[in-house]
Amino acid sequence: MSVTMKSYGNTKDGKEATLYTLENKNGMQVTVTNYGVNIVNVIVPDKNGKKDDVVLGYDTLEGYFDNGSYFGSTIGPSANRIANASFTVDGVKCQLSMNDGTNNLHSHDDLGYHKVLWNAEVKGDNSVLFSIEDTDGNMGFPGNKKVEVTITLTDENELKLAYHVSTDKNTLINMTNHSYFNLAGHDAAPIENHKLCIYGSAYTPVDERLIPTGELPSVEGTPFDFREPHMVGERINEENDQLKLGQGYDHNWVIDDYDGSIRKVAEVTEETSGRSMEVYTDQPGIQFYAGNCIKPIGGKNGATYGKRSGLALETQVFPNSVNQENFPNAIYGPDKDYEAITIYKFGW
């Protein structure tokens, strides 16, 4: 195991960003920048030993200054959509940025955690601890917050993300990572031929704003039933109102038998490469986004990304939970720190 560092250029305000590369004994590598704790590379062997980068991203720091699709991004304080870009906590209405129609999406386009230069500390030979302090009222969220994300690569080929936030006021916290995976390689064909399994018997359907309606219907008999593996492209173009609203899959699944423990919630396989990825988390939901709205853009090593070039599996509390009484709680405060763990485990 090892962790190496190198410069990744300067931020817009002239501060130096750094790349941290973690490597395990099996030849797997993960590279993360302290700018936004964006995951830049995940290099994994295939069944023949050929190594490929399996996440979408950019060669240079400048690519992450815009990053409209959130390639590799650590999202916070709140991931996904919030209706009317507002919520109320302790009787106070909190107004957020309307950056997705009338919704708030992923906290803020310019001030969200994916656009901040984090402090970084190498921990041992397989982890990096990233930290920031976020001020009360920033982006509309209450509370002075101390935020930590620890990224670890194990010899079991696990990319582990551990989140911890303490705050001096009750506030909304619901963090995630927005990496897009293509197990055939970041520059390979679209991900319709990836086989996906999600251990969720219900999902949260959305309205025309892509805000959950509050219902929790069964996936039985619908294109959202991934309890047994299905190709991503097998049913994505079916005549289905929910698929039309998301232009494909862009929905949250309800994890079966959720009890706060870490459990396997999804698995993806890609036959040509022989690669697989299992997703483990202690969160109650997982957003499967099939990359339906990725606009053509230049990526790493001269690649051009477009529609469905990668898929995201974002562990989370349900979207708009803060405004839905029957959804899991996403408010944390002085008496309750936010802690969450997600693991992406690779095989080949």
DSSP state of 240: -
What does the block give as tokens for 136? 């009360």
b/e per residue 142-157 (b: at least 16 CB within 10 A) = bbebebbbbbbbbeeb
CB 157 within 8 A of CB 347: yes
Residues designated as active site: 178, 314
Closest CA to 332 of 134, 103, 112: 134
In 3D space, the residue among 340, 339, 318 whose CA is nearest the CA of residue 329 turns out to be 318
Spatial distance between the Cα atoms of 61 and 11, rounded to a whole number of angstroms:
8
Determine the number of helices (DSSP H) and then strands (DSSP E) in the chain: 2, 28
- Would you state the structure tokens that stand for residue 185, as one six-digit string? 């390689």
Tokens of 302: 């001269």
CA atoms within 13 A on the CB side of 94: 26
Count CA atoms closer than 13 A to 104's CA, side-chain side.
29
Residue 23 C-alpha from the chain's centroid: 21
CA dihedral 214, 206, 139, 144 (to 10 degrees): 40
Residue pair 178/312 in contact (Cβ under 8 Å)? The answer is: yes
Would strands 263-270 and 195-198 be described as parallel, antiparallel, or unpaired? Answer: antiparallel
Cα separations in angstroms, 196 against 29, 51, 69, 147, 182 = 23, 22, 21, 32, 12
